[in-house]
A and B are shown apart, each in its own frame.
Chain A
Amino acid sequence: MAKDEFTPRTFKVVGTRPPRPDGLDKVTGRARYGADMSAPGMLIGLCLRSPHAHARIKSIDTSAAEAMKGVKAVVTRADFTTTPEDQGTRDILDNVMAGEKALYDGHTVAAVAATSRSVARAALKAIKVEYEVLPHVVDVDEAMKPDAPVLHEGRQQESVPKGYSQNVLARSQYGHGDIEAGFKKADIIVERSFTTAATHQGYIEPHACLATMGNDGQGDLWCCTQGHYMVRNTCSAILGMDAGRLKVTASEIGGGFGGKTTVFLEPVALMLSKKAGKPVKMTMSRDEVLRASGPTASTSIDIKIGMTKEGKITAAQGEFRYQSGAFYAMNGALGAMCGFAPYDLENLQSVGWEVVTNRPKAAAYRAPGAPMAAFAVESVMDELAKELDMDPIELRLKNAAEEGTKSAYGPTYPAIGLKATLEAAKAHPHWSAPLGKNQGRGLACGFWFNFGGDTCVSLMINPDGTVSLSEGNPDIGGSRAAMTMMAAEELGIPYEHVRTVIADTATLGQNEVTDGSRVTFAVGLATIKAARHAIEIMKTRAAATWGIEPDAVEWVDGAAQPAGPNAGKFPPMTLKEIAAIASNTGGPIAGHHEVNAEGAGVSFGTHIADTEVDPETGAVKVVRYTVFQDAGKAVHPDYVEGQLQGGAVQGIGWALNEEYIYGKDGTLQNAGYLDYRIPVASDLPMIEPVILEIPNPGHPYGVRGVGETGIVPPLATLANAVSRAAGVRMTSLPMSPPKLLAAIKAS
């Protein structure tokens, strides 16, 4: 429908920076997050976790725990008697409660609910688990070898060639043209191998929930999640109950970044509550979050790029091997699709591999799979720029994808903003600023698909002329403000007249998880359409009042008015006036919209970093950082900037410090913030965000998602900056001081 499409307009509310509706609650400590809820008679639930990386569970004896005073329920896998229909949900069940085998250090094998935390802790100690410890594997390249310890038998897809371990679950190939012919045309070819460590989203709020399951088959669940509809659907499938009988309410959420797009505690808490007949609250410790939620893949990547001496790519090839923990996840494929997406390539072959290992199953982390791929590809691009003595921006502009380019993953691009970010970077004073001693400047580009998906919005016109908006996506970084703004814009009323709430699962239809940078795009689209629906009704009411045809009424600046002189002469009726008489003109007025939103509009960014390397210690200081990203249209620029800054800093942590360290026994050695060190305020400079606005043709206001792309370029940006500062190419992340020092010494 033409109405969905972008039409240029002058905005009144969109593009301003009003205070967010949840601000007061959040600065006063009143906002209720996952762990902030309690219920009368509530029990405390805790998990017993495997101390082994890979072990057969021979027996579990819970009798002593069950006999303890204050222990109200103990559950093991035997209590989960339903087998979910689809493989993905069966994997989730296997992940939240181990079946025959414990597959990683921290895998839940049993859980208890008791009257206090101390009793619950004592009960965990009283559970006896007999394990048969099995050989384990945590490294992606090791796990692919034919003689590697195998996690699951018979799960390998046909796409995997012979000669690999059963741990290799899938292989997928993208590209076009003829790479052999392409490489023949090259004047210069660079070929490199890279590795990246697994990292964690590091949200400050651990997973938490409060579950109430009655013997009437009805359940209530409060939890911190990026998608309470997903929680409802997954938990009801695992518990074998009707989705409609489980009501899930999303708490305020203390960060997610993709890590809260699945369930961990929730089905266990519901089962404990069912067995105990009382509400059960569960919260993870930080140690549990790191050991047993959903970190990223670690990777091993080969990149080969050929170029003419003028800097035009003739062929590109990539092998993206990703281990995603103990269960299948599509990560290597995403890497293979995203790595080369910024470029217009005649000849490309890009292959993704999905490998399982004895680690917790990877969850999404902002543009899942893309940052590592960009690290590898953009490092080789930087090396080619150096070899050809070309400006890294010029080199990229020569090859940059634009409208009409056939993308690395297949489709042809509509209007995109990559070149605009490169031009903006070239023109920015940062790019030409002088560098100090031991400093280097790096630049890299990044791509993310963005997503739309199932969305429902309901918009009520209240009798006093204010508006209540219900949406179904947890607000992680200011999206309620953005929805409020779009509703106010479309209705033509002040921002303060609209209040937006996140509805529970019983109040709206299905909503896709807050992921894929989808919310401002898709929920925004549905909000605008719900407002248009309400406007149609209000126009009808005005028309009836005036005794003219609804077609003869138009909506201007928050009021109905006759459309042109032929329609009749009536003074405009404001939204407030129409609302006041709604009861007499046909009843309450509400608009709604339900859609599977398409046309999300892909996103590109370019980052510049200056780093200073201490040649004696290998320590890296980031001295300047600038982000250029296309937002389509920035609805609330403060929160767009916040996404760009936050994503960049997470990427800086990934590049320099963060890593999952496993011991020889396959157990995680750094399960705490002291040893898994995320960037702190004193590590960083200001992060300058530059927002570009190349309208997304698929959204009425031109909006594109902005949440994820910001983490894609920083790994490569930092690697290029550090490599130039240190005079040695860094191909392994994180570039921690010992690693960098060793590389400097070896060069």
Chain B
Amino acid sequence: MSRIHVNTTINGDATDYLCEAEDTLLDVLRDQLDMTGSKEGCASGDCGACTVRLDGRLVCSCLVLGAEAEGRTVETIEGMADGETLHPLQKNFIDKAALQCGICTPGILVAAKDLLERNPDPTEEEVRYWLAGNLCRCTGYDKIIRTVLETAAEMRGAA
């Protein structure tokens, strides 16, 4: 089977890989690059566990082909912290117990960071609708929503 050679940028690093035509970006990240932080909950765009940013836009990486990343920039959970320094959302998710099992957490963090970059002062309703594509079965969302709102306030205070 002939494979496709792809050159892309992942979390700021130039990266290349070979993938089959049918491989999704999620398959490539997880199976070829061992970046297993992005999770597969459904492979059909319904759970958001695989959320990454592609050229600055949120996508379900299970709905993007690996070959489509050619020449583009991909941001995953693995790139969210700056070295040792966690993003305020990451820090607060731990401190405020916004995760239980944690399987939804990478997708939710990537999506919430994107929200706060676009809208530093979201309402509760805006956070709820923004994260409506990210399923969490453990928390009932309460602590997640609160933590995103509190982090937004904290980041506005710091800015």
The chain A residues found within 8 Å of chain B, CB to CB, are: 17, 19-20, 22-24, 26-33, 35-36, 38, 118, 201-206, 252-257, 283, 285-286, 476-478, 638-639, 641-642, 645-650, 672-674, 678-682, 684, 686-687
Contact = CB atoms under 8 A, between A and B. Distances in A.
20 contacts: A26-B99, A27-B86, A203-B103, A204-B47, A205-B41, A252-B101, A254-B104, A255-B103, A476-B138, A638-B96, A642-B139, A646-B138, A649-B140, A673-B44, A673-B135, A680-B135, A681-B129, A681-B136, A686-B142, A686-B146
Nearest to B95: A19
B68 interface: no
Contacts of A673: 41-42, 44, 46-47, 135
Contacts of A478: 97, 100
B17 interface: no
B140 A682 contact: no
> A26, A118, A641, A681: which has the most chain B beta carbons within 10 Å?
A681
B127 interface: yes
A672 B44 contact: yes
A20 B128 contact: no
A203 B94 contact: no
B34 to A, nearest CB: 7
A255 B135 contact: no
Interface string B62-86: 0000000000000011101100001
A29 B103 CA distance: 9
Contact of B41 (A17, A286, A639): A286
Interface in B1-52: 1, 20, 22, 30-31, 34-44, 46-47, 49
Given A28-B37, A672-B42, A673-B42, A681 B141 contact: yes
Given A255-B100, A286-B44, A638-B97, 14 more contacts: A26-B102, A27-B94, A28-B77, A28-B78, A29-B80, A204-B39, A204-B137, A478-B100, A646-B138, A673-B46, A674-B46, A679-B140, A681-B145, A684-B141
Contacts of A30: 37
A290 to B, nearest CB: 10
A638 B141 CA distance: 13
B80 to A, nearest CB: 7
Nearest to B93: A27
Contacts of A257: 137
A638 B42 contact: no
B100 A639 contact: yes
B40 A31 contact: no
Contacts of A35: 30, 36, 39-40
Contact of B137 (A20, A28, A29, A650): A650
Residue with the greatest number of chain A CB neighbours at <10 A, chosen from B35, B43, B125 = B43
Contacts of B134: 681
B131 interface: yes
Interface in B116-156: 125, 127-129, 131-146
A239 to B, nearest CB: 28
Contacts of B90: 27-28
Contacts of A23: 93-94, 99
A688 to B, nearest CB: 8
Contacts of A639: 97, 100
Nearest to A35: B40
Contacts of B129: 681-682
Nearest to A286: B42
A203 B42 CA distance: 11
B128 A201 contact: no
B16 to A, nearest CB: 20
A363 B80 CA distance: 37
Contacts of B100: 255, 476-478, 639, 642, 646
A97 B41 CA distance: 24
Contacts of A24: 86, 94
Contacts of B20: 118
A678 B77 CA distance: 24
B37 A678 contact: no
A255 B137 contact: yes
Contact of A29 (B36, B42, B94): B36
Nearest to B129: A682
A124 B131 CA distance: 37
B99 A27 contact: yes
Contacts of A477: 100-101, 138
Contacts of B77: 28-29
A35 B38 CA distance: 11
Nearest to B41: A204
Residue with the highest number of chain A CB atoms closer than 10 Å, among B78, B95, B101: B101
Interface class of chain B by DSSP:
loop
Contacts of A647: 140
Nearest to A28: B81
Interface of B: 1, 20, 22, 30-31, 34-44, 46-47, 49, 76-78, 80-81, 86, 90-91, 93-97, 99-106, 109, 125, 127-129, 131-146
Contacts of B91: 27
Given A17-B97, A118-B20, A286-B43, A254 B135 contact: no
A631 to B, nearest CB: 15
A32 B91 CA distance: 19
B125 to A, nearest CB: 8
A21 B125 CA distance: 32
A672 B39 contact: no
A253 B44 contact: no
B124 to A, nearest CB: 8
A681 B128 contact: yes
Given A28-B77, A285-B43, A681-B141, A204 B97 contact: no
Contacts of A254: 39, 101-104
Contacts of A33: 36, 39, 103
A365 to B, nearest CB: 11
Contacts of A201: 137
A679 B134 CA distance: 10
- The 7 closest A-B CB pairs, nearest first, are A29-B37, A254-B103, A649-B140, A26-B102, A23-B94, A638-B97, A673-B46
A65 to B, nearest CB: 18
B143 A22 contact: no
B3 to A, nearest CB: 11
Q: Which of B100, B128, B135 has the most CB of A within 10 A?
A: B100
A33 B29 CA distance: 15
Contacts of B142: 645, 684, 686-687
A414 to B, nearest CB: 30
A678 B48 CA distance: 13
B155 to A, nearest CB: 16
Nearest to A33: B103
Residue from A639, A680, A684 whose CB has the most chain B CB atoms within 10 Å: A680
A164 B5 CA distance: 64
Nearest to B79: A29
B103 A204 contact: yes
Contacts of B47: 204, 286, 673
Nearest to A44: B31
A29 B38 contact: yes
A253 B109 contact: no
B97 A20 contact: yes
Contacts of A646: 100, 137-140
A672 B36 CA distance: 22
A674 B137 contact: no
A333 to B, nearest CB: 27
A522 B64 CA distance: 46
A29 B127 contact: no
Given A204-B104, A255-B103, A286-B43, A29 B35 contact: yes
A15 to B, nearest CB: 14
A628 to B, nearest CB: 15
A58 B102 CA distance: 44
Nearest to A23: B94
Contact of A684 (B94, B106, B140): B140
A188 B143 CA distance: 44
